[in-house]
Chain A
């Protein structure tokens, strides 16, 4: 996955003219799909995390949904590290990917909120998580994505 972080118009957020749902529908209209169709994925500041059933191929086929509803004991499921995260921060935000707290989690969808830095500060922003393989298509529309998070599109 790759995380793209953009500034947001806080006044429009307060007025609920911008939220994660509004942004995501416009992102999908660009032909892009955030990663939230797969709840086993999660991206932190340093690593991609994946939920895995300890029984492997012997796990029940619907174990993810069962786990999400609390019907599988937590000790049967573990979260493992996958590849390194890819974090792209809009320059207007004034911080770099390496400034983000190591344990900060971006999840797998579209979020309007903020990012916690290593010095403890929270920076208001929006972010969206895409498959690494979509980076080329995402990079081609980065300006439009920024406009979506700013409520200009």
Chain B
């Protein structure tokens, strides 16, 4: 499906699109029309980072390079994803992440249980994935971003280098 990252929904054209033109489970035309890809336009935004980010902050701090601006031309459903190469904490403590739209926190997670070692005594790195879906976001311009903090100790968010593994993606389509 064609996607656009210039902040404007576009008519992607029926000829290019697969669609559910037959009834699903004997459903009505109204139901199948909601499944029809031809009516759907997609907006996307993406930012990447190669920063090796570290913090001792126990309250939320912006994660370097992980923010995107989107302009929604209409009420939208918005999907937000973030992941980087790894995250870990060097003490017996947790790391936390949250996704925000502007100053509004949308989702918060704990991304490490505590300092963990493998059988070779090496500090284990953890999956940094966080995602959320908003429905019925009003038309307008927004910044989506990720903030992080630690319980105690030092938290690392390693974005990787070549290619950049730190990435935030926003995908939006009409509500």
Contact among B49, B61, B110, B151 with A106 in the assembled complex (CB-CB below 8 Å): B61
Asked whether, in the complex, the Cβ of A13 is within 8 Å of the Cβ of B52, the reply is yes
Contact among A21, A24, A113 with B64 in the assembled complex (CB-CB below 8 Å): A113
Asked whether, in the complex, the Cβ of A105 is within 8 Å of the Cβ of B54, the reply is no
Count of A residues near B, CB < 8 Å?
39
* Secondary structure call for the B interface: strand
From 12 to 68 in chain B, residues with beta carbon under 8 angstroms from any chain A beta carbon are 49, 51-65, 67
A30 to B6, CA, bound (A): 49
A-B contact count (CB 8 A): 105
- CB-CB under 8 A from B119, the residues of chain A are none
- CB-CB under 8 A from B161, the residues of chain A are 14
- CB-CB under 8 A from A31, the residues of chain B are none
Asked whether, in the complex, the Cβ of B62 is within 8 Å of the Cβ of A39, the reply is no
Q: Annotate B119-152 by CB proximity to A: 1 below 8 A, 0 otherwise.
A: 0000000000000000000000001000101110
Q: What residues of chain A have their CB less than 8 Å away from a CB belonging to chain B?
A: 13-14, 16, 19-21, 24, 34, 36-42, 49, 51, 68-70, 74, 101, 103-114, 116, 120, 122, 124, 129
